[in-house]
Amino acid sequence: MSNDFPDVPDTPEDDAPIQEPRLWQGNGWTARVIKNDDDEGWAVAMVKDGEPEPALVGPWTMGRDKKNPKPLDVNAFNTLVKTANEVIRRHEQQLHAQLHKNVFVNTDDGGQVKVTLDIIPDEDDPYAILSAFDPYGEELAKVRVAPTFKLSVTSATTWIDNGYRKPQ
């Protein structure tokens, strides 16, 4: 098993995780205290197992001697894991919000249509799916559109008014 994060040894599954003052592993994460290149302080990098880049890099507290970093411990590590997981969760939520949008359109007959846009960020052929659903969740229409299609109440209303024909 290869690890792209410098100076972090690979740990076989059956070995105990490393728990040193500047390097701590557990719960699917590795915390490493590093010299902060931006100033004279220290930083901590949190790397999720299997990932090449840190999910979180933040300032780290100086020790009592004001030269060396405070050593990692179980409580600090658990807090860092919680924070790093939260950063990843927020990133995933933001990505989901960018790729999946919906609006509601009131129709002339007093009903409501939910129109969704799901962007598929394929490297070779990105596209989006524009769909319409009645109030009971039944699909009324679905068309493939450009991934740059801008979903709004106005664009959804125009699509509905045009008989759900593919927008230009």
Question: What mean pLDDT comes out for the span 41-62?
Answer: 93
Backbone angles phi, psi at 160, to 5 degrees: -65, -45
Average pLDDT taken over every residue of the chain: 89
Q: State the residue for tokens 């930083």.
A: 43
Q: CB within 8 A of 165, min separation 6: which ones?
A: 143, 159
Q: How many angstroms separate the first and last alpha carbons of the chain?
A: 50
Residue 52 has pLDDT above 90, yes or no: yes
**DSSP letter at 41?**
S
With 60 as the cut, is the pLDDT of residue 43 above it?
yes
Percent of the chain with pLDDT over 70: 91
What is the C-alpha to C-alpha distance for residues 89 and 167, in angstroms, rounded to an integer?
34
Checking if the pLDDT of 15 tops 80, the result is no
What stretch of H or E contains 58?
strand 56-60
Tell me: pLDDT of 159 over 70.
Answer: yes
Could you tell me the sign of the dihedral formed by the alpha carbons of 142, 146, 147, 148, in that order? negative
What digits encode the pLDDT tens for the residues 97-127? 999 999 999 988 888 999 999 999 888 999 9
pLDDT digits (tens, 9 = 90+) for 66-96: 888 999 999 999 999 999 999 999 999 999 9
Would you state the pLDDT for residue 87? 94
Q: Residue 7 has what pLDDT?
A: 53
CA distances from 168 to 80, 92, 158, 161, 165 (A): 48, 31, 11, 14, 9
In the sheet with 100-106, reading across from the earlier edge strand, the strands are 100-106, 112-120, 127-133, 139-145
